[in-house]
Amino acid sequence: MEQISRRGFITALAGLGVLPSFADAIGNMDGRVILQAMPGRQQLDPELPGPTALWTFNGGVPGPLLRVMQGERLELTFRNGIDQGSAVHWHGIRIDNAMDGVVGMTQPSVLPGESFDYSFVLPDAGTYWYHAHQHSSEQVGRGLYGILVVDEQVPPLVDNDIVLALDDWRLDQEGQIHESFGNLHDISHGGRTGNWLTVNGEGSKTIAVGNGERLRLRLINTANSLIMPLHLPDQPCWLMALDGMPLDQPVPAQTGITLGPGQRADLIMDCADMANPLALGFVERDELISLVSFVHDPSRDRQPHDDSPSPLPPNPVVRCDSSSDNSTPLIMQGGAMGDLQAAQYQGEMMAIRELVRHGKAWALNGVVDRTEKPLLTARRGSCQEIVIENRTAWPHAMHLHGHHFEVPASGWPGPALRDTVMLDPGDTLALRFRADNPGRWLLHCHMLEHQVGGMVTWIEVN
């Protein structure tokens, strides 16, 4: 379902509060949404020899498109129908800690055949997603993810609102999921990158648009580890929000945008001239792999919008003032071509060679994996700064649960709020945030194989 009209949504929202799309959302008698992890098969690309066996939510990838009004509560039962323990994480939601889906930290594993009830309020409007958060590299890599859109009480006026979940898959000759999970080369290099790209679980999409139409595009990078440099059609286009959070001012975005794993971007694009089809796609070595083509449908032609879009209404995130109560350094080390000699793992100092034998390759502040003690303990409401230094030879996509942080402005007015930020080799970035959400929150690389390889820590707010 690639084209979704605003009106369609509003009618559907009046009913359940959540609209079935992608895979079907299943509601039970008392209005709870059922999200069931289960095996499924899907033709990921017409050029593949046949459907691919996947792990899905409700039978398809992406899982059901969950759509909730800002400020409302989502009530959902997760049922685990795969043969591994699992749990669901709601990426980017400033959520009640008990609902965060982190096995062993915020909840026990939901074992095969068991279920878990999630119930939480959505404080912020924007584009979010959900995914399995146990053995994430394998479970997300096999398809256990879906999109969560939180609608503004007064949404911007657009003619079409389009969700585009971009993913890559590592498939074998038969078009089946390559079984190379846990591969040490992936862990110590750039992660598990794939050989097939999909958009909303298909090889490509064609979307009919009229001259003058204004589109809202919600781009989500759901790949395990792939950084996506994206080419946008050459039309008037504005970056409206990053990781769900509105920018203070829309920023012209003609040249394209790069999304790291887990990141999202909301764009508004005016289709001023549909004489030729427009392509949105992935840029590889100066070549464009088209994922979405916008083609002219004269029946949709309309009077062009004559104003540029106003900023989206801000979300109720309380920012830091200029000073921080506390600054914590976080040094990333390890990986191929890195300088990590030894690090602490399960309480023991280990040489890198030995770490690798345990499938570990990365350290944060000299420690591999989540430690017993948090990286920092923040007083609730305090302003925290985490200064991350990437001393590795690889880019990383650091993700903080439960909060959005400011990163220094890079070309747009005012610092953007993000939940996932890219650091290139050699980069140092200060993340600043108001620690106002009590609980225990993960901070990890969203290149899921780097997470497996040790690049994960946590903070505590109380």
List of residues contacting ligand C2O (CB under 6 A) = 89, 91, 131, 133, 262, 399, 401, 442, 444, 446
Q: How far apart are the first and last CA of the chain?
A: 43
Q: How far is the CB of 65 from ligand C2O (least distance, A)?
A: 17
Near Cu ion by CB under 5 A, which window of 106-114, 141-149, 338-346, 388-396?
A: 388-396
Nearer Cβ to ligand C2O (56/139)? 139
Nearer Cβ to ligand C2O (296/401)? 401
Q: Which does 216 bind (CB under 5 to 8 A by kind): ligand C2O, Cu ion, none?
A: none
Position 171 contacts Cu ion (CB under 5 A): no
Position 32 contacts Cu ion (CB under 5 A): no
Number of DSSP helices (H) and strands (E) in the chain, helices first: 5, 33
- CB count within 10 Å of CB 57 equals 31
- Per the DSSP assignment, residues forming a β-bridge with 40 are 54
Q: Which does 450 bind (CB under 5 to 8 A by kind): Cu ion, ligand C2O, none?
A: Cu ion
Pairing of strands 326-334, 382-390: parallel
Q: How far is the CB of 113 from ligand C2O (least distance, A)?
A: 25
Nearer Cβ to Cu ion (56/451)? 451
Cα–Cα distance measured from residue 28 to residue 32, given in angstroms and rounded to the nearest whole number: 6
Q: For 228-381, list the strands marked E by DSSP.
A: 228-231, 237-242, 245-252, 257-259, 264-270, 278-284, 287-296, 326-334, 342-345, 348-351, 362-364, 376-378
Nearer Cβ to ligand C2O (165/280)? 165
Provide the residue type at 296 as one letter: H
Near Cu ion by CB under 5 A, which window of 67-75, 107-115, 363-371, 394-402?
A: 394-402
Q: How far is the CB of 446 from Cu ion (least distance, A)?
A: 8
3-state secondary structure of 39: strand
Residue with tokens 């009106």: 7
Q: Which does 403 bind (CB under 5 to 8 A by kind): Cu ion, ligand C2O, none?
A: none
Q: How far is the CB of 133 from ligand C2O (least distance, A)?
A: 6
Cα–Cα distance measured from residue 75 to residue 102, given in angstroms and rounded to the nearest whole number: 18
3-state secondary structure of 267: strand
Position 166 contacts Cu ion (CB under 5 A): no
Nearer Cβ to ligand C2O (361/442)? 442
Tell me how many residues contact Cu ion (CB under 5 A): 4
Q: Which does 396 bind (CB under 5 to 8 A by kind): Cu ion, ligand C2O, none?
A: Cu ion
Provide the residue type at 164 as one letter: L
Which of 162, 304, 309 minimizes the C-alpha distance to 247? Answer: 309
Position 396 contacts Cu ion (CB under 5 A): yes
Q: How far is the CB of 132 from ligand C2O (least distance, A)?
A: 10
Residues with Cβ within 8 Å of 322's Cβ and at least 6 positions away in sequence, in order, are: none
Nearer Cβ to ligand C2O (54/223)? 223
Residue with tokens 């009046």: 14
User: How long is the chain?
Assistant: 462
Residues with Cβ within 8 Å of 373's Cβ and at least 6 positions away in sequence, in order, are: none
Q: Which does 445 bind (CB under 5 to 8 A by kind): Cu ion, ligand C2O, none?
A: Cu ion
Nearer Cβ to ligand C2O (134/324)? 134
3-state secondary structure of 385: strand
Q: How far is the CB of 372 from ligand C2O (least distance, A)?
A: 19
Q: Please identify the residue of the shown chain whose CB is closest to the bound ligand C2O.
A: 91
Q: Which does 262 bind (CB under 5 to 8 A by kind): ligand C2O, Cu ion, none?
A: ligand C2O
Q: Which does 442 bind (CB under 5 to 8 A by kind): ligand C2O, Cu ion, none?
A: ligand C2O
Contacts (CB under 5 A) with Cu ion, residues 442-461: 445, 447, 450
Cα–Cα distance measured from residue 431 to residue 404, given in angstroms and rounded to the nearest whole number: 9
Cα–Cα distance measured from residue 334 to residue 188, given in angstroms and rounded to the nearest whole number: 8
Which positions lie near Cu ion, rule CB under 5 A? 396, 445, 447, 450
